[in-house]
Amino acid sequence: MVQRKEYLDNLIALKDKKVIKVITGVRRCGKSTLFELYIDYLKQSGVEEGQIISVNLEDLENFHLIDYHALYDYISEKLTPDKNNYIFIDEVQRCSGFEKAVDSLFIKKNCDVYITGSNAYLLSGELATLLSGRYIQIDMLPFSFKEYYDAKKESGKSKRELFDSYLKFGSFPYVAYLDNDEKIINQYIEGIYNTILLKDVAMREKITDVSVLENILKTVASSIGSPISAKKISDTLISSGRKISPNTVEAYLRALTDSYILYNATRYDIKGKQFLKTLGKYYFVDSGIRNHIISGSASDLGHILENVVYLELLRRKNKVNIGKLAEKEVDFVAGNMGEIEYYQVSASVIDEKTLERELAPLKEIKDNYPKTILTLDDIGNGKNYEGIKQINVIDWLLE
């Protein structure tokens, strides 16, 4: 089993700290497995079985606990007096009024509370109000390529072959263990996709016509790497015979980002050093889901690559924006002020014109922050263009 070291180390560092640990992320990204890995660590550290209370609210066995009174009573009865108790509640949003149960457990002196959820609005309501300053959120993503590679490196395939599979089938952890069986993988991804659409978006927004959501996602999937707005999506759908207002599109996009199927990257004016409200870009949490929505093609490689780099920068830098520079654009401005890095992403820059196009905006930036072009080319790997490094993206992902 891949250890998800970054997330596991984070939980270990927070052990017994008086904050609620909230792990959020798209369905099936590995939140429950992270709990299992952490519980194994606790047991190896001397924590007794009776001190660990774990409840998965997606399990029908626990259906009677979806009321906060029942959940609180069930956990309270299992607490070990005079010892620290480690409480794990998986998919906590399924419990009506869960924040009251969580708050009541948190204020007990001997409770260390961990919860997971598959929706960003988990922390946008009463929980955030009740526990302001008393929780830490850990945003979890599916496998990075390094984690996928660690899971598959004994397969005998080359790094490039494994990377091609990663782009095609995506990064959900279980996919790595399905032996590239395309039919089964497609069925698995379709199941995740339908669950997110129906449970996490349609039910919450009370959407009866799910095909509207699918049309929005198809439009976004076709526009990866391109600035897009709710108005533009609305116009596209209207031209194809679906009448929908920009405001409705905006609400649906917000619900899709809240469910972590989409991520929104806003534009950042590099010279003006300010964030812009219009024409950001959307990226998918997983290339397998994106490929499921629309058929990928060879000409689409650059956009899928850009999506993978965006997610990796989120893992490493936490904050990622699109860089605007007059009429030019920098694919990604990653990090916070004082620790910025600039990235351009291109499938290949062997062609001189393509290379010059990718270098042009980076050359205009006069500060001393690192500037990098990521490409699949082996030719030119490690080359330096007036301080701008060219790096093979597979090598960079495996750093």
Q: What is the b/e burial string over 98-121, where b = at least 16 CB atoms within 10 angstroms of the residue's CB?
A: bbbbbbbbbeeeebbbbbbbbbbb
Those residues whose C-beta lies under 8 Å from the C-beta of residue 210, and which sit 6 or more positions away, are 197, 198, 202
CB 284 within 8 Å of CB 307: yes
Taking the CB of residue 271, how many other CB atoms lie within 10 A of it? 12
In this prediction, residue 151 carries a pLDDT of 95
User: Going residue by residue through the chain (399 aa), what tens digit of pLDDT does each one get?
Assistant: 899 999 999 999 999 999 999 999 999 999 999 999 999 999 999 999 999 999 999 999 999 999 999 999 999 999 999 999 999 999 998 998 898 999 999 999 999 999 999 887 777 666 677 777 789 999 999 999 999 999 999 999 999 999 999 999 999 999 999 988 999 999 999 999 999 999 889 988 888 889 999 999 999 999 998 999 999 999 999 999 999 999 999 999 999 999 999 999 999 999 888 888 888 999 999 999 999 999 755 558 999 999 999 999 999 998 999 999 988 999 999 998 678 999 999 999 999 999 999 999 999 998 999 999 999 999 999 999 999 999 999 999 999
Q: Is the dihedral of CA 271, 274, 279, 285 positive or negative?
A: positive
| For the chain, domain boundaries | 5-139, 145-225+256-397
What pLDDT was estimated at residue 126? 62
Q: What is the pTM of this model?
A: 0.94
* 3-state SS, residue 113: strand
115 residue type, one letter = I
Chain position carrying tokens 């302001």: 132
Tell me the DSSP string of 339-367: S-EEEEEES---SHHHHHHHHHHHHH--S
382: left (phi over 0), alpha (psi -120 to 50) or beta: left
Structure-block tokens of residue 218: 């198809």
Task: Confirm if 102 and 65 have CB atoms less than 8 A apart.
Answer: no
pLDDT in tens, 174-231: 999 998 899 999 999 999 999 999 988 998 888 888 999 999 999 999 999 899 999 9
> What count of other Cβ atoms lies within 10 Å of the Cβ of residue 13?
8
CATH for 5-139, options being 3.40.440.10, 2.40.50.140, 3.30.1520.10, 3.40.50.300: 3.40.50.300
Could you tell me the end-to-end alpha-carbon distance of the chain, in angstroms, rounded to an integer? 20
Q: How far apart are CA 94 and CA 77, in angstroms?
A: 21
